[in-house]
Amino acid sequence: MNTSEYILALDQGTTSSRAILFDRQARITGMAQREFTQHYPQAGWVEHDATEIWATQRATLTEVLAKTGVRPAQLAAIGITNQRETTLVWNKHTGQPIHHAIVWQCRRTAPLCDQLKTDGLESEIKSRTGLVADAYFSATKIRWLLDNVPGARAQAEAGDLLFGTIDTWLVWKLTEGRVHVTDYTNASRTMLFNINTLEWDAFLLEKLKIPAAMLPEVKPSCAIYGHASLGVEVPIAGMAGDQQAALFGQLCFHKGMVKNTYGTGCFMLMNTGQNKVQSEHGLLTTLAVGADGGVSYALEGSVFMGGAIIQWLRDELELIADAADSEICASRVDDAHGVYLVPAFTGLGAPYWDPYARGTITGLTRGANRNHIVRAALEAIAFQSRDLLDAMQQDAGLRLAALRVDGGAAANNFLMQFQADITHNRVIRPSMLETTALGAAFLAGLATGFWQSTGELAQYVTTDREFVPTMSSTSREQHYHGWQQAVARTRTTP
Ligand SMILES: Nc1ncnc2c1ncn2[C@@H]1O[C@H](COP(=O)(O)OP(=O)(O)O)[C@@H](O)[C@H]1O
Ligand SMILES: O=P(O)(O)OC[C@H](O)CO
């Protein structure tokens, strides 16, 4: 048994970097968080400065240890979880990024994806990677960097450049450039990884003109990747994309279990075990982590704007002073007064996949006020999740008993009740909403013997509250029909 006292989880999200210390009972001992800059160089483009990502992540690590008085020698392991798909290329000799990271939300490569479809590659992409040909994934972002950063292609072909998603970048920095690695879950989001053979896909690499030498080694999510130099050497022992980590943190190890995370976007994942379900309804097939720490398959519905709609109400419209106020505003009115907000700010993700759609507010009348718009924004988060749940239940051929939720916006009681009502499902909220970090900690703890088995973990995850549906079926379907009409108005494709 491992006698160290803590696991450190690094959670590198879209808007902030976090470091969370977990003790043996998986309780949070300490946490540090830093936001970092979002760059929007053109409409629909989103970038991050990878140097700032590392600086904020490193600062949270130092801060959480300082705040709690925990020494690196007391750490059994580090687990990493990260915003997925966000694409970085750096020089392997200098360690310098050649450009800002291109963020998962960025739409700049939509025309390149159109070209892939014109070239007839859509079904190849789906059968090989489980994904749809969309700008969301890393492949076309890498291609854009190679085509647009002066000298990049020649350097990549000479073997001087490395590609990584953010997990890979953090391991590279923590190991001082010694290790270039990713895990199966992150690799499965690149649109370059074959989820059948569990190898980089030579056919797609050739079609996208991406040199294989740039790619990291791929390992299971529960494994020793290298050691972080923190005065003592601490093993980096667990790694997973944030949505797969949340699935693991919610104990969804087994087939048929589903979680929905309400962070910047909303991501619903169903563990389908060894069954690679090919969606007929616009969902993705992706890699997740099974009970033994090995690969399992999952169905995923990804929507791009979840809690970020609430940030927009706060920062751009200034309708609320902070995110939690949205619950108060929404509860002041009986309904949204016919107002619908379709948050297609960066196009529509699952199940529509329309990169050119843009946001709308419909149904405004003279009686509509601030509270109605805020309520419509929260309802939009729940409507999008119903779209995903309907698609998932049809693909998997089953009716869910309950939806496990987490992420920042899951704290909103109005949203959770409306989610239960609009899906006619029980919604189960755990006591701890940091399930993403918890999942990464679980993986690292299992890999190092800090925890013995997934069976042991169940005792550490408890329920805070269950939301039970109360809305009549007539009302539910009326509301949802109104949503579908509003979505139809934003679409640029049928
Ligand atoms: N009480 C709340 N009601 C609605 N949205 C909220 C609330 N608290 C936080 N949010 C939203 O949740 C998001 C932050 O959640 P988090 O899980 O930290 O996201 P991420 O990991 O994507 O950075 C923000 O977009 C914020 O607007
Ligand atoms: O950082 P989050 O929590 O918004 O998650 C982002 C997703 O991983 C994008 O696929």
Task: Report the predicted TM-score, pTM, of the whole model to 2 decimal places.
Answer: 0.93
Which of ligand 2's atoms lies nearest the C-alpha of 15?
A: 1
Question: Using 50, 70 and 90 to split pLDDT, how confident is the model at 275?
Answer: confident
Q: Is the predicted pLDDT of residue 4 greater than 80, yes or no? A: no
Mean pLDDT of 327-341: 96
Q: Which two tokens stand for residue 48?
A: 């991050």
* ipTM score above 0.90: yes
Tally the domains of the chain: 1
Binding-site members for ADP are 14, 18, 264, 307, 408, 412
Q: What is the pLDDT of residue 188?
A: 97
- 24-68 per-position pLDDT tens digit: 999 999 999 999 999 999 988 999 999 999 999 999 999 999 999
The pLDDT of residue 493 is: 75
Per-residue pLDDT tens digits for 184-238: 999 999 999 999 999 999 999 999 999 999 999 999 999 999 999 999 999 999 9
Q: What percent of the chain has pLDDT over 70?
A: 99
Q: At 76, which helix (H) or strand (E)?
A: strand 75-82
Q: How many CB atoms lie within 10 A of CB 404?
A: 24
Binding residues for glycerol: 84-85, 136, 242-243
Q: Are 189 and 240 in contact (CB under 8 A)?
A: no
Whether 421 is covered by a domain: the verdict is no
DSSP letter (8 states) at residue 345:
B
Ligand nearest, relative to CA of residue 105: 2
Ligand 2 center from residue 287 Cα (angstroms): 15
Asked if the structure places residue 32 within a domain, the reply is: yes
**Mean pLDDT in residue range 382-393:** 95
Would the CB of 427 count as within 6 Å of ligand 1? no
pLDDT exceeds cutoff 90 at 174: yes
Q: Is 210 a member of any domain?
A: yes
pLDDT of residue 3: 67
Give me the residues paired with residue 87 across strands.
102
Tell whether 142 is covered by a domain: yes
Per residue in 53-106, pLDDT (tens digit) is 999 999 999 999 999 999 999 999 999 999 999 999 999 999 999 999 999 999
Dist. CA 379–CA 234, nearest whole Å? 44
Range of the domain at 161: 6-241
Q: Does 420 fall in a domain?
A: no
**Phi and psi, residue 50, nearest 5°:** -65, -25
- pLDDT, one tens digit per residue, over 410-447 is 999 999 999 999 999 999 999 988 999 999 999 999 99
Res 328 pLDDT > 70? yes
Beta carbons within 8 Å of 63's beta carbon, 6+ residues apart: 19, 32
Interatomic CA distance for residues 239 and 225, integer angstroms? 9
Identify whether the C-beta of residue 293 lies closer than 8 Å to the C-beta of residue 336. no
Q: Is residue 1 over pLDDT 60?
A: no
Any atom of ligand 1 within 6 Å of the Cβ of 239: no
Rounded mean pLDDT, 470-494: 94
**pLDDT tens digits, 201-216:** 999 999 999 999 999 9
Q: Do 136 and 349 form a contact (C-beta atoms < 8 A)?
A: yes
Task: Give the chain's mean pLDDT.
Answer: 95
Q: Is 13 in the pocket of ligand 1 (CB under 6 A)?
A: yes
Contacts of 262 (CB under 8 A, 6+ apart): 306, 307, 381, 405, 406, 407, 408, 409, 410, 412, 415
Q: Cα separation of 225 and 83, whole Å?
A: 19
For residue 364, the SS3 value is coil
State whether the beta carbon of 17 lies less than 6 angstroms from ligand 1: no
Is residue 68 domain-resident?
A: yes
- Who's near 425: CB < 8 A, 6+ residues apart? 389, 400, 401, 402, 403, 419, 469
Q: How far is CA 317 from CA 197, 310, 322, 340, 376, in A?
A: 48, 10, 12, 16, 14
> pLDDT tens for residues 289-299?
988 888 999 99
Helices (H), 281-324: 307-315
- Ligand 1: residue whose CA is nearest its atom 20: 263
The answer to whether residue 181 sits within a structural domain is yes
Specify the pLDDT at position 397. Answer: 86
In CATH, what number is assigned to the domain containing residue 91?
3.30.420.40
> Cβ distance 131 to 122 under 8 Å?
no
Sheet holding 222-230, edge to edge: 28-35, 16-22, 6-12, 75-82, 232-241, 222-230
pLDDT at 398: 81
Structural domain contains residue 341: no
CB-ligand 1 contact for 409 (6 Å cutoff): yes
Report which bound ligand comes closest to the CA of 33.
1
Q: Which amino acid is at 147?
A: D
Q: What atom of ligand 2 comes closest to residue 243's alpha carbon?
A: 8
pLDDT at 2: 64
CA of 308 to the centre of ligand 1 (A): 7
Q: Quick one: average pLDDT of 456-475?
A: 94
Give me the mean pLDDT over the 136-144 stretch: 97
With the most atoms of ligand 1 within 8 angstroms of its CB, the residue from 34, 264, 312, 328 to mutate is 264
Atom index in ligand 2 nearest the CA of residue 407 equals 3
pLDDT tens sequence across 299-319: 999 999 999 999 999 999 999
**Residues lining ligand 2, Cβ inside 6 A:** 13-14, 83-85, 104, 241-243, 263-265, 302
